[in-house]
Amino acid sequence: MLLTRRDLALASAALVACRGPTVVSRTVRRVSQTLPAMPTVDGAGVALNRIIGQPLLRHLDPFVLLDRFHSSNPDDYVRGFPDHPHRGFETVTLMLDGRFRHRDSKGNHGVITGGAAQWMTAGKGIVHSEMPDQTEGLLSGFQLWLNLPRAEKLCAQHYEDLSPSRIAEGKVAAGTLRVVAGDVDGLKGPLPPRSTQPTMFTLALQTDAPLELDVPKSHTAFVFVHQGDVELGPEGSAPIPAHSLAVLEDGNRVRLRALSAPSTVLFIAGKPLNEPIVQRGPFVMNTEAEIAQAWSDFRAGTLDNS
């Protein structure tokens, strides 16, 4: 018997109906690597801990560097980061406590306070300073360097202050979630779309109840624990202690449980670029020749030409 095209379509539809709706599998990300933050000094003498960009983890595509600053001793931070250049990537500063003042060669300026964030696209080039707007008290936060794809390395510069009120915040079963970028648990961060599709949130875990959140499946992802001890991954996973980075395997869920409450973590994920990364000091490009050109432009005073 010959089957018509209509007969085949009806048979296919019947088969789908018998199978029922498609079920999306949920895979909890496991930890593939852990490492401690490395103490170092940068800028004009700022004591900080380098998380990404240290010898044990040079880069984590698309992330080039992650620093943690946290001190109540003014000697650790008052000298700040005077004028210095950047090209080829974006900087993200997330403040937990204290105040940092930003000024740059494109005329942007602002003060980042506790609970706020700042997103700066260096693009074709910019010269900026980041100086503490305080002489005492706790200064605490993170700075992330997020790579730009080859096609956007020389894009226009951009600066955006994300005040505390703009950060998407909500309660979850185990504590408080604050989303800077991406869409997490119904909370959408204020950052406009980027080629690297970043997801960035902080999570304050107040109880030992486990928490699971949907995250992009194939993006590079990591968690930094900056307070407490956290079980990260399937139940029974080894604890991640404070001041440690955990790089995650693929999966579309992240599971966390505070082993000591309160515990606070930073989660970041992004779409890998799969392009060469050449970093020399403040520049992140694809080739050594592009790095040499960046230094030449900086010395000539043309780095940030419009």
pLDDT of residue 26: 80
When pLDDT is cut at 50, 70 and 90, the band that residue 22 belongs to is very low
Return the higher-pLDDT residue of 2 and 201. Answer: 201
**What span, in angstroms and rounded, lies between the C-alpha atoms of 66 and 145?**
6
pLDDT at 3 exceeding the cut of 60: no
pLDDT of residue 261: 85
Query: pLDDT per residue over 123-168, tens digit each?
Result: 999 999 999 999 999 999 999 999 999 999 999 999 999 999 999 9
Helices (H) and strands (E) counted in the chain, each on its own, are: 2, 26
In sequence order, what E strands does 148-243 have?
A: 158-162, 168-172, 175-181, 183-184, 187-188, 199-205, 211-214, 220-227, 230-232, 239-240
pLDDT of residue 173: 86
**What span, in angstroms and rounded, lies between the C-alpha atoms of 190 and 163?**
10
Q: What is the CATH number of domain 167-275?
A: 2.60.120.10
Return the higher-pLDDT residue of 305 and 179. Answer: 179
**What span, in angstroms and rounded, lies between the C-alpha atoms of 283 and 254?**
32
Rounded alpha-carbon distances, angstroms, from residue 144 to 63, 149, 255: 7, 16, 23
Do 175 and 207 contact (CB within 8 A), yes or no?
Answer: yes
When pLDDT is cut at 50, 70 and 90, the band that residue 305 belongs to is confident
CATH 2.60.120.10 domain range(s) in the chain: 32-166, 167-275
How many other CB atoms are there within 10 angstroms of residue 273's CB atom?
A: 18
**What span, in angstroms and rounded, lies between the C-alpha atoms of 241 and 246?**
10
pLDDT at 57 exceeding the cut of 80: yes
Give Rg (Cα) of the chain.
Answer: 22
When pLDDT is cut at 50, 70 and 90, the band that residue 7 belongs to is low
Query: pLDDT per residue over 63-94, tens digit each?
Result: 999 999 999 999 999 999 999 999 999 999 99
Do 109 and 217 contact (CB within 8 A), yes or no?
Answer: no
pLDDT at 244 exceeding the cut of 50: yes
Query: pLDDT per residue over 290-299, tens digit each?
Result: 999 999 999 9
pLDDT at 9 exceeding the cut of 60: no
pLDDT of residue 23: 45
Tokens 């139940």, located at residue: 235
Tokens 């020399």, located at residue: 280
Query: pLDDT per residue over 194-240, tens digit each?
Result: 999 999 999 999 999 999 999 999 999 999 999 999 999 999 999 99
Do 42 and 281 contact (CB within 8 A), yes or no?
Answer: no
User: Which CATH fold would you assign to the domain 32-166?
Assistant: Jelly Rolls (2.60.120)
